[in-house]
Amino acid sequence: MPRPIHDKVAYDNAVEVVHALAGHKLNHDQDDYLALMAKLW
């Protein structure tokens, strides 16, 4: 679930999740999550 990023640890965790999803075949929920993260960046 998307959470506000308040510090470097939270940022690094979000980047890790995005990198893990990018470039893979995703289900609908994963695709929505990745699209949301892309819009927030």
**Mean pLDDT of residues grouped by 10 in the chain (41 residues)?**
89 93 95 91 73
In a domain, 28, yes or no: yes
> How many whole angstroms separate alpha carbon 22 and alpha carbon 1?
17
The count of domains in the chain is 1
pLDDT of 22 reads 92
User: What does the alpha-carbon distance between residue 38 and residue 40 come to, in Å, rounded to a whole number?
Assistant: 5
Residue 34 within any structural domain of the chain: yes
Residue range(s) defining the domain that contains residue 34: 8-40
How far apart are the C-alpha atoms of 29 and 35, rounded to whole Å?
10
Q: What is the pTM of this model?
A: 0.73
Residue 2 lies inside a defined structural domain of this protein:
no
